[in-house]
Protein backbone atom coordinates (compact mmCIF):
# COMPACT_ATOMS: atom_id res chain seq x y z
CA UNK A 1 0.00 0.00 0.00
CA UNK A 2 2.79 2.32 0.99
CA UNK A 3 4.48 1.82 -2.31
CA UNK A 4 1.17 2.35 -4.11
CA UNK A 5 0.59 5.59 -2.18
CA UNK A 6 4.11 6.69 -2.91
CA UNK A 7 3.56 5.87 -6.54
CA UNK A 8 0.27 7.77 -6.54
CA UNK A 9 1.94 10.66 -4.81
CA UNK A 10 4.73 10.55 -7.34
CA UNK A 11 2.17 10.44 -10.15
CA UNK A 12 0.26 13.38 -8.80
CA UNK A 13 3.44 15.30 -8.29
CA UNK A 14 4.73 14.54 -11.74
CA UNK A 15 2.53 17.01 -13.67
CA UNK A 16 3.36 19.71 -11.17
CA UNK A 17 7.00 18.90 -11.50
CA UNK A 18 6.66 18.90 -15.28
CA UNK A 19 5.25 22.39 -15.36
CA UNK A 20 7.64 23.55 -12.73
CA UNK A 21 10.80 22.98 -14.78
CA UNK A 22 9.23 24.95 -17.66
CA UNK A 23 8.74 27.94 -15.43
CA UNK A 24 12.14 27.41 -13.97
CA UNK A 25 13.62 27.29 -17.43
CA UNK A 26 12.09 30.60 -18.43
CA UNK A 27 12.89 31.97 -15.07
CA UNK A 28 16.52 30.92 -15.36
CA UNK A 29 16.73 32.67 -18.65
CA UNK A 30 15.54 35.81 -16.96
CA UNK A 31 17.68 34.94 -13.92
CA UNK A 32 14.66 35.52 -11.67
CA UNK A 33 13.58 32.02 -10.53
CA UNK A 34 11.48 33.13 -7.55
CA UNK A 35 9.04 35.26 -9.50
CA UNK A 36 7.04 32.28 -10.81
CA UNK A 37 5.34 31.71 -7.45
CA UNK A 38 3.88 35.21 -6.87
CA UNK A 39 2.42 35.01 -10.37
CA UNK A 40 0.22 32.08 -9.28
CA UNK A 41 -1.01 34.03 -6.27
CA UNK A 42 -1.79 36.99 -8.47
CA UNK A 43 -3.84 34.77 -10.75
CA UNK A 44 -5.88 33.53 -7.80
CA UNK A 45 -6.53 37.07 -6.63
CA UNK A 46 -7.59 38.12 -10.15
CA UNK A 47 -10.57 35.74 -10.04
CA UNK A 48 -12.94 37.88 -7.92
CA UNK A 49 -11.87 40.92 -9.93
CA UNK A 50 -13.09 39.16 -13.06
CA UNK A 51 -16.69 39.00 -11.87
CA UNK A 52 -16.50 42.61 -10.74
CA UNK A 53 -15.23 43.64 -14.14
CA UNK A 54 -18.01 41.59 -15.72
CA UNK A 55 -20.52 43.62 -13.73
CA UNK A 56 -18.69 46.76 -14.73
CA UNK A 57 -18.88 45.76 -18.38
CA UNK A 58 -22.63 45.12 -17.99
CA UNK A 59 -22.98 48.65 -16.67
CA UNK A 60 -20.88 49.90 -19.53
CA UNK A 61 -23.00 47.91 -21.96
CA UNK A 62 -26.26 49.44 -20.73
CA UNK A 63 -24.69 52.89 -20.65
CA UNK A 64 -23.43 52.35 -24.18
CA UNK A 65 -26.87 51.17 -25.26
CA UNK A 66 -28.43 54.28 -23.77
CA UNK A 67 -25.90 56.50 -25.50
CA UNK A 68 -26.52 54.65 -28.77
CA UNK A 69 -30.29 55.25 -28.55
CA UNK A 70 -29.73 58.88 -27.60
CA UNK A 71 -27.48 59.37 -30.62
CA UNK A 72 -30.10 57.70 -32.82
CA UNK A 73 -32.69 60.23 -31.63
CA UNK A 74 -30.25 63.03 -32.39
CA UNK A 75 -29.55 61.97 -35.98
CA UNK A 76 -33.23 61.14 -36.50
CA UNK A 77 -34.06 64.79 -35.73
CA UNK A 78 -31.17 65.92 -37.96
CA UNK A 79 -32.34 63.88 -40.97
CA UNK A 80 -35.93 65.05 -40.56
CA UNK A 81 -34.72 68.63 -40.35
CA UNK A 82 -32.70 68.11 -43.53
CA UNK A 83 -35.81 67.10 -45.47
CA UNK A 84 -36.94 70.70 -44.92
CA UNK A 85 -33.55 72.33 -45.57
CA UNK A 86 -32.59 70.42 -48.74
CA UNK A 87 -35.51 71.69 -50.89
CA UNK A 88 -34.56 75.27 -49.93
CA UNK A 89 -30.97 74.60 -50.95
CA UNK A 90 -32.17 73.05 -54.18
CA UNK A 91 -34.26 76.12 -55.03
CA UNK A 92 -31.37 78.44 -54.17
CA UNK A 93 -28.86 76.59 -56.38
CA UNK A 94 -28.18 77.76 -59.92
CA UNK A 95 -26.33 74.86 -61.55
CA UNK A 96 -28.61 72.09 -62.79
CA UNK A 97 -26.07 69.52 -61.61
CA UNK A 98 -26.19 70.90 -58.09
CA UNK A 99 -29.98 71.14 -58.11
CA UNK A 100 -30.12 67.46 -59.13
CA UNK A 101 -27.61 66.51 -56.42
CA UNK A 102 -29.77 68.14 -53.74
CA UNK A 103 -32.91 66.55 -55.15
CA UNK A 104 -31.36 63.08 -55.19
CA UNK A 105 -30.00 63.47 -51.69
CA UNK A 106 -33.42 64.51 -50.45
CA UNK A 107 -34.81 61.18 -51.70
CA UNK A 108 -31.89 59.36 -50.03
CA UNK A 109 -32.49 61.26 -46.80
CA UNK A 110 -36.09 60.06 -46.73
CA UNK A 111 -34.85 56.47 -47.05
CA UNK A 112 -32.29 57.11 -44.33
CA UNK A 113 -35.10 58.19 -42.00
CA UNK A 114 -36.84 54.87 -42.66
CA UNK A 115 -33.61 53.01 -41.95
CA UNK A 116 -33.29 54.81 -38.62
CA UNK A 117 -36.85 53.77 -37.80
CA UNK A 118 -35.81 50.17 -38.50
CA UNK A 119 -32.88 50.55 -36.11
CA UNK A 120 -35.23 51.90 -33.42
CA UNK A 121 -37.38 48.84 -34.02
CA UNK A 122 -34.39 46.51 -33.62
CA UNK A 123 -33.69 48.23 -30.29
CA UNK A 124 -37.32 47.83 -29.24
CA UNK A 125 -37.57 51.58 -28.82
CA UNK A 126 -40.10 54.04 -30.27
CA UNK A 127 -38.63 56.26 -32.99
CA UNK A 128 -38.25 59.62 -31.28
CA UNK A 129 -36.47 62.73 -32.45
CA UNK A 130 -34.34 64.82 -30.12
CA UNK A 131 -33.26 68.26 -31.28
CA UNK A 132 -29.76 68.23 -32.71
CA UNK A 133 -28.15 71.62 -32.05
CA UNK A 134 -25.26 70.91 -34.40
CA UNK A 135 -27.53 70.25 -37.38
CA UNK A 136 -29.66 73.26 -36.55
CA UNK A 137 -26.49 75.38 -36.62
CA UNK A 138 -25.31 73.90 -39.90
CA UNK A 139 -28.63 74.50 -41.66
CA UNK A 140 -28.80 78.04 -40.24
CA UNK A 141 -25.44 78.65 -41.82
CA UNK A 142 -26.78 77.39 -45.16
CA UNK A 143 -29.74 79.74 -44.80
CA UNK A 144 -27.54 82.77 -44.17
CA UNK A 145 -25.41 81.83 -47.20
CA UNK A 146 -28.57 81.97 -49.31
CA UNK A 147 -29.40 85.38 -47.88
CA UNK A 148 -25.89 86.78 -48.23
CA UNK A 149 -25.11 85.66 -51.79
CA UNK A 150 -26.58 86.81 -55.04
CA UNK A 151 -29.20 84.70 -56.78
CA UNK A 152 -28.05 83.05 -60.00
CA UNK A 153 -24.34 83.21 -59.22
CA UNK A 154 -21.76 80.43 -59.16
CA UNK A 155 -20.45 81.98 -55.96
CA UNK A 156 -23.73 81.08 -54.26
CA UNK A 157 -23.41 77.52 -55.59
CA UNK A 158 -19.86 77.21 -54.24
CA UNK A 159 -21.04 78.46 -50.85
CA UNK A 160 -24.01 76.07 -50.89
CA UNK A 161 -21.71 73.14 -51.69
CA UNK A 162 -19.48 74.05 -48.76
CA UNK A 163 -22.47 74.29 -46.44
CA UNK A 164 -23.82 70.95 -47.71
CA UNK A 165 -20.45 69.27 -47.27
CA UNK A 166 -20.28 70.43 -43.66
CA UNK A 167 -23.63 68.68 -43.17
CA UNK A 168 -22.35 65.52 -44.87
CA UNK A 169 -19.20 65.49 -42.76
CA UNK A 170 -21.27 65.76 -39.60
CA UNK A 171 -23.39 62.85 -40.81
CA UNK A 172 -20.34 60.78 -41.78
CA UNK A 173 -18.89 61.24 -38.28
CA UNK A 174 -22.23 60.35 -36.69
CA UNK A 175 -23.03 57.28 -38.79
CA UNK A 176 -19.42 56.08 -38.58
CA UNK A 177 -19.62 56.22 -34.80
CA UNK A 178 -23.11 54.68 -34.68
CA UNK A 179 -22.15 51.76 -36.95
CA UNK A 180 -19.14 51.10 -34.74
CA UNK A 181 -21.29 51.26 -31.61
CA UNK A 182 -23.80 48.84 -33.14
CA UNK A 183 -20.96 46.40 -33.82
CA UNK A 184 -19.71 46.75 -30.24
CA UNK A 185 -23.22 46.06 -28.95
CA UNK A 186 -23.46 43.00 -31.19
CA UNK A 187 -26.28 44.49 -33.30
CA UNK A 188 -25.29 43.21 -36.73
CA UNK A 189 -28.51 44.24 -38.54
CA UNK A 190 -28.37 47.73 -37.10
CA UNK A 191 -24.71 47.98 -38.05
CA UNK A 192 -25.56 47.05 -41.63
CA UNK A 193 -28.38 49.62 -41.89
CA UNK A 194 -26.22 52.38 -40.44
CA UNK A 195 -23.35 51.34 -42.69
CA UNK A 196 -25.56 51.71 -45.78
CA UNK A 197 -26.43 55.27 -44.81
CA UNK A 198 -22.80 56.00 -43.98
CA UNK A 199 -21.83 54.99 -47.51
CA UNK A 200 -24.53 57.23 -49.03
CA UNK A 201 -23.27 60.21 -47.05
CA UNK A 202 -19.71 59.54 -48.20
CA UNK A 203 -20.84 59.24 -51.83
CA UNK A 204 -22.81 62.48 -51.56
CA UNK A 205 -19.79 64.26 -50.14
CA UNK A 206 -17.63 63.00 -53.03
CA UNK A 207 -20.26 63.97 -55.58
CA UNK A 208 -20.41 67.51 -54.18
CA UNK A 209 -16.62 67.77 -54.41
CA UNK A 210 -16.76 66.63 -58.03
CA UNK A 211 -19.46 69.18 -58.91
CA UNK A 212 -17.42 71.97 -57.31
CA UNK A 213 -14.16 70.91 -58.96
CA UNK A 214 -15.55 70.23 -62.41
CA UNK A 215 -17.34 73.42 -63.07
CA UNK A 216 -18.62 75.68 -60.39
CA UNK A 217 -15.37 76.81 -58.74
CA UNK A 218 -14.02 77.93 -62.13
CA UNK A 219 -17.24 79.80 -62.90
CA UNK A 220 -17.13 81.46 -59.49
CA UNK A 221 -13.53 82.58 -60.09
CA UNK A 222 -14.53 84.01 -63.48
CA UNK A 223 -17.44 85.78 -61.81
CA UNK A 224 -14.96 87.33 -59.41
CA UNK A 225 -12.74 88.53 -62.30
CA UNK A 226 -15.77 89.99 -64.08
CA UNK A 227 -16.73 91.80 -60.93
CA UNK A 228 -13.24 93.27 -60.59
CA UNK A 229 -13.31 94.38 -64.25
CA UNK A 230 -16.69 95.96 -63.72
CA UNK A 231 -15.42 97.80 -60.68
CA UNK A 232 -12.46 99.11 -62.67
CA UNK A 233 -14.77 100.20 -65.49
CA UNK A 234 -17.02 101.91 -62.97
CA UNK A 235 -14.02 103.79 -61.58
CA UNK A 236 -13.06 104.93 -65.09
CA UNK A 237 -16.63 106.04 -65.74
CA UNK A 238 -16.68 107.98 -62.49
CA UNK A 239 -13.56 109.85 -63.59
CA UNK A 240 -15.04 110.52 -67.00
CA UNK A 241 -18.23 111.72 -65.33
CA UNK A 242 -16.21 114.21 -63.36
CA UNK A 243 -14.58 115.52 -66.53
CA UNK A 244 -17.90 115.74 -68.35
CA UNK A 245 -19.79 117.27 -65.48
CA UNK A 246 -19.30 120.83 -66.61
CA UNK A 247 -20.60 120.03 -70.11
CA UNK A 248 -23.58 118.18 -68.62
CA UNK A 249 -24.39 121.16 -66.49
CA UNK A 250 -24.36 123.33 -69.55
CA UNK A 251 -26.58 120.84 -71.42
CA UNK A 252 -28.97 120.74 -68.51
CA UNK A 253 -29.14 124.50 -68.62
CA UNK A 254 -29.98 124.26 -72.30
CA UNK A 255 -32.84 121.87 -71.56
CA UNK A 256 -34.40 124.31 -69.22
FE1 LIG B 1 -28.44 61.83 -44.10
FE1 LIG C 1 -26.56 63.55 -46.02
- Provide DSSP, 86-118: HHHHHHH--SHHHHHHHHHHHHHHHHHHHHHHH
- What pLDDT score was predicted for residue 52? 67
Q: For residue 138, give every residue at least 6 positions away whose Cβ sits within 8 Å of its Cβ, in sequence order, or none.
A: 163, 166, 167, 170
List residues, by chain if needed, whose CB lies under 5 Å from ion ligand 2.
Answer: 171, 201
- 55-111 pLDDT, tens digit per residue, is 677 677 889 999 999 999 999 999 999 999 999 999 999 999 999 999 999 999 999
> Among all ligands shown, which has an atom nearest to the Cα of 101?
2
Higher pLDDT among residues 75 and 250, named by residue: 75
| Mean of all residue pLDDT scores within the chain | 78
The rounded Å distance from CA 117 to ligand 1 centre is 13
The rounded Å distance from CA 29 to ligand 1 centre is 59
Contact criterion met (CB below 8 Å) for 90 and 102: yes
- What pLDDT score was predicted for residue 240? 47
Q: How far apart are CA 117 and CA 80, in angstroms?
A: 12
> Among all ligands shown, which has an atom nearest to the Cα of 196?
1
The rounded Å distance from CA 148 to ligand 2 centre is 23
> Among all ligands shown, which has an atom nearest to the Cα of 178?
1
Range 141-153 burial, b when 16+ CB lie within 10 A, else e: ebeebbeebeeeb
Nearest alpha-carbon partner for 93 in 245, 202, 211: 211
- 14-55 pLDDT, tens digit per residue, is 344 344 444 333 333 444 444 444 444 444 444 455 566 666
Q: How far apart are CA 137 and CA 6, in angstroms?
A: 82
> Among all ligands shown, which has an atom nearest to the Cα of 167?
2
Amino acid sequence: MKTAKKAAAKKSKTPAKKSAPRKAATATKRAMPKKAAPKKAAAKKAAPKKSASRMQSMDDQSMLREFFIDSLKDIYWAEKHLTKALPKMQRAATSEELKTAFEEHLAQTEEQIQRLEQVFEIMGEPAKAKKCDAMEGLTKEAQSIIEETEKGTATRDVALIMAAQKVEHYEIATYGGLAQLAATLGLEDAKELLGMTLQEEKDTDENLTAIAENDINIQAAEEDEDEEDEEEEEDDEDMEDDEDSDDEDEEEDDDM
